Amino acid sequence: MKSLLSRSASRVSSAGRTTDGGLGLDIEVGMLTDRGCIRERNEDSIAVVRPGGNYSSEKGMLAIVADGMGGHRGGGYASQLAVEAISQCYYADVSKKPLEDLVRSLQEANSRIYREASTDSNLSGMGTTATVLALRQGRAYFAHVGDSRMYRVREGVIELLTEDHTLLMALLKSGSLTEEQAKNFPDRHVITRALGSHPSVEIMTPEKGIELKIDDLFILCSDGLHDLVSSDDIREAVAGRTPQRACELLVELAKSRGGHDNISLIIVRIGEPGKEDRPAPVTRTDGVCANV
């Protein structure tokens, strides 16, 4: 197994290419995590894990975005622990049931985080979101907990594939809150489901894998991005740009609108087999924040 990127204290970016386990599709990846304009530290963790030989190559590639919560030390530790546990557990055997593998991996991460929080008072209350994409044998699979998101752009149309596990979404679904009332709802960021908050957790997955098509784009992001950047903004940013440049543009846009939280995203583009590598773009280490 090889990890393209894991979290850093302030801002990290990376670009790369790999292939889909089994079919040899060209996969181009861009990724970026940024502290934002307000927060003192970055509690997000992101990673892309590529096949590294033997049976693990058959299980394809993983992309993970985790947004931690829980005070001075806990949030960043929870998100990093989630990335590590999910990666380890997913590639631990030769199972041919991707959705079950993803659910098991997130449940293992939940158990590890909950145990750590229960035995160390400094970590009490920590937890993390987790949105995970697996590309395997020409299909996309995902698993999700919390309010990070995953979108797909296909033929110029953007679709939200995940559901926010928040109090706001629960009230909207039950009819207790209207769309107009939701715009000014004060507790919009209260999460109803996260890894590590309870001994067990319900994991969201699709009913089956999504068949990949050339030029499909998958965008995984924390709420620090989607709070400030609309789905139309995302669709326009990825059009005609490399995944890495689109990541940079979207983070810059979120920061120009206040950057009130950590901002993290991974963009994965499905390309034709055998396509020649393009040089990775130069990335910048500083963004511009709005005056707020």
pLDDT at 277 over 50: no
Return the bridge partners of 166, or none: 191
Q: Is residue 283, in this structure, part of any structural domain at all?
A: no
pLDDT tens-digit map of 1-34: 444 455 544 555 666 666 555 556 789 999 999 9
Q: Is residue 291, in this structure, part of any structural domain at all?
A: no
Q: Which two tokens stand for residue 130?
A: 């987790």
Q: Which two tokens stand for residue 145?
A: 């907990």
Q: Is residue 208, in this structure, part of any structural domain at all?
A: yes
pLDDT at 45 over 90: yes
Per-residue pLDDT, 59: 86
Task: Write the single-letter amino acid at 3.
Answer: S
pLDDT at 275 over 90: no
Per-residue pLDDT, 279: 39
Q: Which two tokens stand for residue 283?
A: 């990335």
Is the pLDDT higher at 53 or at 25?
25
Q: Which two tokens stand for residue 239?
A: 């059009």
Per-residue pLDDT, 52: 64
pLDDT tens-digit map of 172-229: 777 777 777 777 777 777 889 999 999 999 999 999 999 999 999 999 999 999 999 9
Per-residue pLDDT, 272: 84
| CATH number of the domain enclosing 171 | 3.60.40.10
Give how many domains the chain has, as a whole number. Answer: 1
Q: Is residue 230, in this structure, part of any structural domain at all?
A: yes
Task: Give the residue numbers spanning the domain of 77.
Answer: 2-271
